[in-house]
Amino acid sequence: MPPNPFARPGDLTSDVNKNVALHGPGEAFPWQGPALSAHIWRFISVVLAAATVPAVYGLGRTLFPHRPDWAAGATLLVVFNPAFVFNMARVSNDALVVPLTTWGLWLLARTWKVKGWPGSMFGLAGVFAGLAALAKLSGLVLLPLGLTVLLARAARDRQPLKELGVCLSLFVAPAVLLAGWWFWRNLGLYGDPTGLNVMVEVAGPRQGSPDLLGEARGTVWSYWVLFGWMNIGPDPAVLHAVEGLTVLGLVGAAGLTTGVLTRRDPDTLSRLVGLWACLGLEAGAFIRWTALTPASDGRLLYPAAAPIALLLWAGWNTLTARWRLIRPIPWLLVGGLGILTFVAPFRYILPAYAGPQPVLQIPAAARPVNATFGDRLRLLAYEPGKAEPGEPLRVSLYWECLGPTAEPWALFIHQVGDAAGATVPNLDTFPGRGMMSTTDCVAGYRFADRYTLPVNGIPEGAAVVRLRVGFRVPPVGGDPVPVTGPSGEPLEALIIEAGKVRGRGGVVGGSLGPAIGPLRLLTASMPDRVQGGRTLTVTTVWEVLRPTGEDWRIFVHLGDPDRPPRAQSDGPPAAGNFPARWWEPGDTFIDRREIRLPSDLSPGRYPVTVGLYTPEGIRATVQASGLTYLPLGEVEVSGN
């Protein structure tokens, strides 16, 4: 399993590097080797998760026999929990500890309710407690809960000490025999019976203080609707909805518990307290673990999924019970979750892991490149994008595999220069938005690689974002792979014009004159006076009137426009940030020219003019006048 060193767990904002491992065609159906093993174990995980469902319903019916709707609603809350379904289909010990814990809770609930001496039930509960503790540390919750039920039941029924001792032995002995050796082994190997010290070393210790509110919200979100490594999820509105509904359900359950306490209903109170105790123990263990390492993943609370579902369902029903019109709301909520459960794989999960898209024909709008990296990959073309202020820039790269690489090549997409104030964060990934390993390249395979690049800042007028595209090996800290052009000529770097970002809309001020070539001058500014030998800065703002096939340059001249200039500054528009080939009607851009004045320039007033010319020296003419420049006014030059 080749790792992805650029993986972004917990990052919902990025559309790349969602995966922690690289993938390839070897995982395609029909499965073979490791891929077949993984799918077999995933199927086993699904079967284990399905075994949780009857235990949730049984726990609800046992605790609240007069409210079968609570058992049904809580069961549906587990079945229609999108994140639960996702996580229980992974190869993970979560799929084992959850059913073991839930069945253990159901047995403990039955021992509380049954009359007489339920020694066999406690013995079976001890088996589940040992297996759950062996599956995952969170399964240890059954031990303190079981001991509490034993002692509370003995006090309630005034059970003889002999019977209590037998029940205690029947419960503890299986748990110790099944799981005790494991904790003893950890103590000898690591000096810690839980082995948490080694797990923290592997996972990485927490650095700095946690963001309590942010991590609490992330825990709730990941419990319900986050997928992958907490980096795939629905729209923010859904995240906030499940957050609010969870808080309301727990508040309603707390109100129900308080009401039962005031009504002095010890039987119902004991059952609610048992649910709260299970949740509290799991939450305490969760908080302890996340205090050691940043791991605020809601799936860690799934061993308490049944108590959580029962408390939430009871809480929602308590809040809606007084008004007949809103009583169906809990069922509508679980129905909405059910729809999301069926939609999530197609709307969120599959697109995140889609990887490269095979292509048979390069789109006509794509710009040809035909640059070869090493002798293994060729960038055939790319399709630039356009972005309005606040929007991301979408770029498509079209690759052809020439053969597999010895080790995975990392793709880097880094910005070159500053697009008039707009920046694109550097991206390090693998082809297929982080999914594909180049070791799986098959000669002749062509694929599209599409990226959505966030744009930070708003440029001063329209600007073009330039990106350097290349490969690095090894992925982290390696040297760039050599790149050659279409004719085999070596290139220092491959730089593409990835797209246009529009600037702030509208420019205050009217036109200074008629159109000149494909542009209209909107405003201009310069100082009234400048000292000889210093720099004169002239700023002009332009509006594009029509597209052009010429590579126009801008000049600003000081002096008599009918004579050679006394000082000047010429060059590409907007310091090269907005070439003429990108011009479209309505675009505006800012051009700044810094003119170094000669130190021996005679004092006096000099006119300043601006205009356009092609690399061949052909000037654009001003509409109606036939002139090849626009006057900007005069500047007074003083002596040194």
Q: What CATH number does residue 445 fall under?
A: 2.70.50
- 22 assigned to some structural domain: no
The span from the CA of 621 to the CA of 606, in Å, is: 22
DSSP string, 504-551: SS--SS--SSS-BTTEEEEEEE--SEEETTSEEEEEEEEEE-S--SS-
Largest Cα span, the chain: 117
Together in a domain, 347 and 369: no
594: helix, strand or coil: strand
Share of the chain above pLDDT 70, in %: 98
Give me the pLDDT at residue 461, please.
87
* Boundary-marking domain end, from 319, 351, 383: 351
Give me the pLDDT at residue 210, please.
76
Read off the pLDDT of each residue in 445-453 and give the average, rounded to a whole number: 94
Share of the chain above pLDDT 90, in %: 76
* Domain count for the chain: 3
Read off the pLDDT of each residue in 50-71 and give the average, rounded to a whole number: 96
- 200 assigned to some structural domain: yes
- Cβ-based burial of 386 (10 A; exposed 0-12, middle 13-18, buried ≥19): middle
DSSP, res 417: S
* Boundary-marking domain end, from 351, 371, 393: 351
> How many angstroms separate the Cα of 137 from the Cα of each of 184, 245, 326?
14, 29, 41
Together in a domain, 315 and 395: no
Cβ neighbours of residue 202 under 8 Å, at least 6 residues apart?
none
Q: Which domain holds residue 216?
A: 41-351
The span from the CA of 369 to the CA of 306, in Å, is: 57
Read off the pLDDT of each residue in 287-298 and give the average, rounded to a whole number: 88
- 509 assigned to some structural domain: no
Together in a domain, 213 and 174: yes
State CA 241 to chain mean position distance. 19
Average pLDDT taken over every residue of the chain: 92
Together in a domain, 451 and 537: no
Among 218, 241, 220, residue whose Cα is nearest residue 231: 218
The span from the CA of 629 to the CA of 565, in Å, is: 12
* Boundary-marking domain end, from 329, 351, 373: 351
Task: Answer with the residue of higher pLDDT: 561 or 503.
Answer: 561
Give me the pLDDT at residue 22, please.
85
Together in a domain, 335 and 371: no
252, 316 Cβ separation under 8 angstroms:
yes
- 4 assigned to some structural domain: no
Give me the pLDDT at residue 508, please.
47
Together in a domain, 288 and 248: yes
């626009």: which residue's tokens? 630
- 445 assigned to some structural domain: yes
């008039």: which residue's tokens? 420
DSSP, res 348: I
Q: Where are the alpha helices (DSSP H) in 81-160?
A: 82-87, 94-113, 119-135, 142-157
567, 609 Cβ separation under 8 angstroms:
no
Least confident of 88-102, 111-125, 337-351, 537-551: 111-125
Read off the pLDDT of each residue in 34-63 and give the average, rounded to a whole number: 95
The span from the CA of 106 to the CA of 635, in Å, is: 90
> How many angstroms separate the Cα of 282 from the Cα of each of 287, 299, 506?
9, 11, 57
pLDDT at 66 over 90: yes
- 11 assigned to some structural domain: no
Together in a domain, 95 and 229: yes
Give the pLDDT confidence of 256-280 residue by residue, as tens digits.
999 998 888 888 999 999 999 999 9
> How many angstroms separate the Cα of 616 from the Cα of each of 201, 552, 553, 612?
66, 10, 10, 12
pLDDT at 511 over 60: no
Together in a domain, 262 and 342: yes
The span from the CA of 138 to the CA of 213, in Å, is: 23
Give me the pLDDT at residue 513, please.
67
- 542 assigned to some structural domain: yes
DSSP, res 497: E
Together in a domain, 141 and 163: yes
Give the CATH number of the domain where residue 575 resides: 2.60.40.10
Give the pLDDT confidence of 351-401 residue by residue, as tens digits.
998 888 899 999 999 999 999 999 999 999 999 999 988 899 999 999 999
Give me the pLDDT at residue 505, please.
55
